[in-house]
Every structure is written in C-alpha cells, then in structure tokens.
Amino acid sequence: MKTFKLVNGDLIFDARNNLVMVEGEDEIAQSIERVLTTNKGEWFLNLEHGLDYQEIQGKGRDVEGIKLAITEAILQEERVSEVEKIDLFLDKDRHLKINVTARIQEGDNLQISEVIDIG
C-alpha cells in the first residue's frame, strides 16, 4: 500500500512541492501511529478506530491495563499479526512514551515509538 507521508498530522512536501509518499514498513508504522494518536470514538467514519484514552489516562492506572489498551489499538492494523513487546516511560509532564515491537504478516519485526500526552 502507498499513502501520503504525515509528520505530526501534517502532509509532507518535497523541494518541488510534490506530496511525499510512504509505503512498505514505513506506511505500516505510520498507520499504527495514526491509531495510537486517535482517541477511540473520535473519527466519525469509524468509531472503533483508535486507542481508548480512558484506559490510559488518570491516576491509578496499572501498567498491564495500559499495555492491553495499546495492544488492542495496534492490532486494529490488520497487517500486524502480533505485538511482541511494549515498553512504557512516563515523564514528569505526563507524556507517555511507547516503544513497541510488532510482528507484521510478512514475518518482519517493526519498531515503533510514539509519545502520547496523558494529561
């Protein structure tokens, strides 16, 4: 699959003002990043798309519950066959850094990093 390249939600243009495209593992990683940065129920065309932010925000959330919510979100990408590892880091400003190793259907491992504001 091939799609437009996004950085921080913005389309990227090259030096000649052409839209930059992304494909292969980079496109799969971008698709997963879009899932992780979309609050479940936010996108009106698919209310099941995204990460359930209620499961990761607020005090008293356990690490395993957060990992489960992230795993469920990542597996919405049909080309991911398994989430092998999730590392979580919470900074003092309540930003959750997520490092994920996922296996895609072609058998390769894909490394993804994302930062989510959990206020």
Residue range 10-57, pLDDT digits in tens: 999 999 999 999 999 999 999 999 999 999 999 999 999 999 999 998
Residue 20, CA distances (Å) to 7, 15, 50, 105, 116 in order: 11, 10, 24, 25, 25
Burial group, residue 77, by CB count within 10 angstroms (0-12, 13-18, 19+): middle
Taking only the tens place, the pLDDT of each residue in 63-113 is: 999 999 999 999 999 999 999 999 999 888 888 999 999 999 988 999 999
Residues 3-10 have a mean pLDDT of 93
**For all residues of the chain together, what is the average pLDDT?**
93
Given this model, what pLDDT does residue 47 score?
94
Given this model, what pLDDT does residue 92 score?
84
Given this model, what pLDDT does residue 93 score?
84
- Supply the CATH classification number for the domain 2-117: 3.10.450.40
Residue 88 makes CB contacts below 8 A (sequence gap 6+) with: 63, 66, 67, 96, 97, 98
C-alpha span between 59 and 44 (Å, rounded): 28
